[in-house]
Chain A
Amino acid sequence: MTRGHAVWLLLATAVPGLLFAPVFGLWALVPPVAGVVVACYVVFELCLRFPALLPWRPLLALVAGALALIEVALFDTTRSGLPTPDSLSRLAAGVTDSWQLTLQSTWPVRPEPELLLFVPLLVLFTASVGIELLRRPAASVLPSLVLLLLSQTFIAVSGTVATLVALAYAVAVAGLFVTPTRTAVALTVGLSVVAGVAVVAVPTGPAYSVRQNQFAQVPLPREVSPLAEVAARLADPEAEVFRYTSDDPVDRWRLVVLDGFDGVTWTAGDRYRRMGAEIGPPAGTTVPTAEHSARIKVPGGQRWLPSQAMPTSVSGAVRPFVDQDAGTLLLPQRGGPVEYDLRWREPFGDLAGLADAAVSSDVPTGDLGTVRDEVAQLARTATRDARPTFRTALVLEQYLSDNYKVATGSQLPTGSGWPQLREFLLDTKRGTSEQFAASYVVLARIVGIPARLAVGYRAPREPVDGETVVRNKDVLAWPEVAVEGVGWVPLDPAGAASDAGPAPTKLAEVMAKARAELPPPDEQLPDPPVSEPPAVDEGGSWTGIWTPALWALAGMLALFVVVLLAVPVAKLVRTARRKRLTGARGVVGAWWEARDLLRAHGTRITPGMTARDLAAVSGGAVVDSLRHLAVHLDAALWSGEGADEGRVRAAWKAVAEIRGALAGRSFGARIRAVFVIR
């Protein structure tokens, strides 16, 4: 068990620790992981120098690693660098809570200690266990292998990165076997090959992650749904709700998205996560997106914060939960005024084909409760019996806005259950945006268009002193339909948002154009173009993996060549250096050479062996040569006479005889001896 072994082991432990980088960011992880690794090495070194500490090494490693972690990651909890009870309690929370918080957050998470502490703690535990098992290198690898698997269950790396990581890990593991045994070499090569093959051969697809079914437990007490407040807000139109500043086009702000409907009430989803550092574009969005931002000030007492369909990040003193599918933000609890910067994405670029786009096939249509025949008939009439496409969705929107009237005044209809909707659709044909949006969603769902109900505010057109004030009168409910490749597209059957915002968004522009191109109400909709079936790729699932496969092969080949050439070359250099030594050193150099030659040929050598002992265990033709070498070695080292040139020559002659005797061994044995590292 040498320092070299410990260093390789710690490297093999640090690599899986750094594989959490896609979750936390590499630069957030490096300092704490490096801190605990260095602390473990320092303890290892101390125990080498003071063997009395050996029985305490695991405990010392854990304590030193924890201290290093406090200094690196929790320095703000220390007092002049000394740990405080707060440091310890946060460290304990790192053991119990941080992994859960990480799983409940969007990724990459905010690089905060309470979230990432569990990674360096895992590295610390793995390293300390691994060091204790270092006497058996194969066993000492196992803890880091477990950590590697754990990191991959959090987030699996793939492609070229995975290939390089697998190679780095394999090299670190190979370093542990400085004196390779057949089993060890087989284990190392096997690990690297399996890792490489697994990386390139496993068909790509959404990787499993332990996070996928983990959501934050959000306490949602009896909050009044913003949908139920629409009419009440319209009754007090001038009350300020929030204000914002933005240079980007905004047409509406969402508070909540309601996609559950049991015939009576609309309910929001509960798949909330803690907001991480940044959220990427939704998985189904293939159109290009542009990023916008706004600064929003919300007075106290609200839980749902104004947001957009595809929020990217929230910065400021708030730590909201986010429903990535709905794009809604929720505060953990009611509090005082909050101010935050919101960044979000909007579909951008060429959206010309939007009208002909299909509705998403992988989004469920949604619940409806019990549908009466007359309502179903109305839905078919409104959509002209067309197949569900985005154009059909626009036709439905046009039908509602042409045949129904927005209610104004003081007696505003309320409610969005089936009784109220039937009354609105079949009798009064007069309602607020609440009835328009809810009716649209149920009619769309009846004809197979996936739709949901969003509640929020339209963006007022005129900013005042750079700030735009959103008031109760701007409250708005609107339907959204899921469009293939674009995501959820907001519609406006009540026509309330059409003049919103200082400038229309790109999506609003495209939709206005699409609405203008709709056929007249008495005309059948053209059949949507049928897209070509996707071409069958000859390569099947292997497409796209050739590059990483070639990288993997090239890496393995390079590793193979390095091992093939580096070991014999290093031995030649070592021998040349030894032969340049003179005097007693020259004789000792000859002894080291003979010892290493025999060790490479499989002779077991212990630290207590002399040349005569080696002769006793070797047998065969090398015995006499070793005895001659022993005589020269004794005379050079212990007689006080040193060694002249003749003695050095005689010692190397004995080495040459040993080399000659070993040349008589089988070809396979000689080849193996060439590549043995010692």
Chain B
Amino acid sequence: MTQTPGQVYELIAANVQKVVRGKPQVVRLAVAALFSEGHLLIEDVPGLGKTTLARCLARSIGGTWNRIQFTPDLLPGDITGVQVYHQRDEKFAFHPGSVFANVVLADEINRGTPKTQSALLEVMSEQRVTVDAVGHDVPRPFLVIATQNPIDMAGTYRLPEAQLDRFLMRLRMGYPDRASEVLVVMSDRAGVDPDELEAVVDLPTLQGAITQVRAARIEHAVIDYATGITSATRQHSEVRYGASPRGTIALVRAAQALAATYGRAFVTVDDIKEVAHPVLDHRLILKPEAELRQRKAEGIVADLLAEVPVPIAVTSVAGA
């Protein structure tokens, strides 16, 4: 029997939350990213479970997964793969890199050099790698989960805007509350290891959920609302570069996936608003004067969510 996306979400979320305690909303958004085949950038200070979340998510689906620890001496070829000369056959053969897996965990991505970071550009947007003019498809579904630490800037390279734009969402873990932290400690004492999690969803089931998510109903008024928000980011006086059309697409796809995690087959305005921060915050580049005033992209998106009128699909309502 085909499982609905809502049921798939319940399975994955329950599995992940055996290890990642007290972060149901982060887990929901991470699964939403998985459902929309979008890539995930998890950003926060060390020790909050970024890598653990990524590992748990990767382990919960029954596909292949690779981990790449980004370091300054990592080379693009280590990620994409290289052509190796086989003496026996007297020909070059492609040796796939770490990126060839369903889930790729790019740990501490900002420690890699820009050249190495750029090796992910093609595969993140086109799900294929081109080496020596030969294209190689990566397995589907394909998901990059990257982590980065925003405070320890020594020896790091800021992600280029082009790459940031390719991440569907940027999530922040945040500190757990006291009760959740107690559970985390108890899990550690009990020896719960992410690598011991079992896969709860196989790839065909996940692929089926992804297909259903893409078919979720979304009214024109809701799409118009999403477009209104991204358009407003471009016209905002404190924003130098607003969200691109790719950002609008990401907003709608993320909202569809989020609706699925709530067990709905249609998208509401609240879905758009709920994913607006993870989808848009990292896509806005503020003007220098706004940054000097300590303005953050989060604040601007929050302002826009408060001011852009929400749509009412039924028009001419008396007293409206």
A583: chain B residues at CB < 8 Å are: 314
B269: chain A residues at CB < 8 Å are: 610, 638
- Give complex CA distance A638, B272 in Å: 12
A610: chain B residues at CB < 8 Å are: 269-270, 273, 310
Q: Select one of B217, B266, B268, B308 contacting A608, CB under 8 A.
A: B308
B308: chain A residues at CB < 8 Å are: 607-608
Question: Which stretch, A153-161, A199-207, A420-428, A574-582, touches the partner chain B?
Answer: A574-582
Shortest distance between the CB of A576 and any CB in chain B (Å): 10
Shortest distance between the CB of B235 and any CB in chain A (Å): 9
Contact A584 B314 (CB under 8 A): yes
- Give complex CA distance A279, B142 in Å: 94
Contact A640 B306 (CB under 8 A): no
Contact A608 B304 (CB under 8 A): yes
Q: Which of A246-281 contact B (CB under 8 A)?
A: none
Q: Which of A591-615 contact B (CB under 8 A)?
A: 592, 606-610, 612-613
Contact A608 B309 (CB under 8 A): yes
Question: Is A634 engaged at the interface, CB distance under 8 Å to the other chain?
Answer: yes
- Interface code A482-513, partner B: CB below 8 Å = 1, 0 otherwise? 00000000000000000000000000000000
Question: Is B222 engaged at the interface, CB distance under 8 Å to the other chain?
Answer: yes
B306: chain A residues at CB < 8 Å are: 606-609
Contact B317 A589 (CB under 8 A): yes
A606: chain B residues at CB < 8 Å are: 306-307
In the complex, which residue of chain B has the Cβ closest to the Cβ of A607? B309
> Contacts A613-B273, A637-B312 hold; do A608 and B305 have CB atoms under 8 A apart?
yes
**Main SS of the interface on chain B?**
loop
A588: chain B residues at CB < 8 Å are: 312, 314, 317, 320
**Main SS of the interface on chain A?**
helix
Question: Is A630 engaged at the interface, CB distance under 8 Å to the other chain?
Answer: yes
Contact A585 B314 (CB under 8 A): yes
Question: Is A403 engaged at the interface, CB distance under 8 Å to the other chain?
Answer: no
Question: Is A531 engaged at the interface, CB distance under 8 Å to the other chain?
Answer: no
A637: chain B residues at CB < 8 Å are: 219, 268, 312-314
- Interface code A372-407, partner B: CB below 8 Å = 1, 0 otherwise? 000000000000000000000000000000000000
A585: chain B residues at CB < 8 Å are: 314, 317
Q: Select one of B219, B270, B320 contacting A630, CB under 8 A.
A: B270
Q: Select one of A592, A607, A613, A636 contacting B320, CB under 8 A.
A: A592
Contact B270 A577 (CB under 8 A): no
Contact A592 B317 (CB under 8 A): yes
Contact A609 B217 (CB under 8 A): no
- Give complex CA distance A637, B219 in Å: 9
Question: Is A639 engaged at the interface, CB distance under 8 Å to the other chain?
Answer: yes
A589: chain B residues at CB < 8 Å are: 317-319
Contact A608 B310 (CB under 8 A): yes
Question: Is B251 engaged at the interface, CB distance under 8 Å to the other chain?
Answer: no
> Contacts A589-B317, A607-B307 hold; do A639 and B270 have CB atoms under 8 A apart?
no
**Of B219, B267, B317, which is in contact with the most chain A CB atoms at under 10 Å from its CB?**
B317
- Interface code B32-53, partner A: CB below 8 Å = 1, 0 otherwise? 0000000000000000000000
- Give complex CA distance A442, B306 in Å: 86
Q: Which of B200-218 contact A (CB under 8 A)?
A: 217-218
Shortest distance between the CB of B311 and any CB in chain A (Å): 8
In the complex, which residue of chain A has the Cβ closest to the Cβ of B304? A608
In the complex, which residue of chain A has the Cβ closest to the Cβ of B307? A608
Q: Which of A287-316 contact B (CB under 8 A)?
A: none
Q: Which of B275-309 contact A (CB under 8 A)?
A: 304-309
- Interface code A559-581, partner B: CB below 8 Å = 1, 0 otherwise? 00000000000000010011001
- Give complex CA distance A143, B11 in Å: 66
- Give complex CA distance A608, B276 in Å: 13
- Give complex CA distance A610, B310 in Å: 7
Shortest distance between the CB of A244 and any CB in chain B (Å): 72
A640: chain B residues at CB < 8 Å are: 217, 219, 266
- Give complex CA distance A610, B217 in Å: 19
B318: chain A residues at CB < 8 Å are: 574, 577-578, 581, 589
Contact A581 B310 (CB under 8 A): no
Contact B314 A639 (CB under 8 A): no
Shortest distance between the CB of B33 and any CB in chain A (Å): 22
Q: Which of B65-100 contact A (CB under 8 A)?
A: none
Shortest distance between the CB of A206 and any CB in chain B (Å): 53
Contact B319 A638 (CB under 8 A): no
22 A–B contacts from the bound complex (CB under 8 Å): A578-B318, A578-B319, A581-B318, A584-B314, A585-B317, A588-B314, A592-B319, A592-B320, A607-B306, A608-B305, A608-B308, A609-B306, A609-B310, A610-B269, A610-B270, A610-B310, A612-B270, A630-B270, A637-B219, A637-B313, A638-B266, A639-B266
Beyond the given pairs A630-B270, A634-B270, A638-B269, 10 more chain A to chain B contacts, judged by CB atoms under 8 angstroms and listed by A's residue number, are A589-B319, A607-B308, A607-B309, A608-B310, A610-B273, A612-B270, A637-B312, A637-B313, A639-B266, A640-B266
Residues of A within 8 A of B (CB): 574, 577-578, 581, 583-585, 588-589, 592, 606-610, 612-613, 630, 634, 636-640
Residues of B within 8 A of A (CB): 217-219, 222, 264-270, 273, 304-310, 312-314, 317-320
A-B pairs, top 7 by smallest CB distance, nearest first, are A607-B309, A606-B306, A634-B268, A577-B318, A574-B319, A608-B306, A639-B266
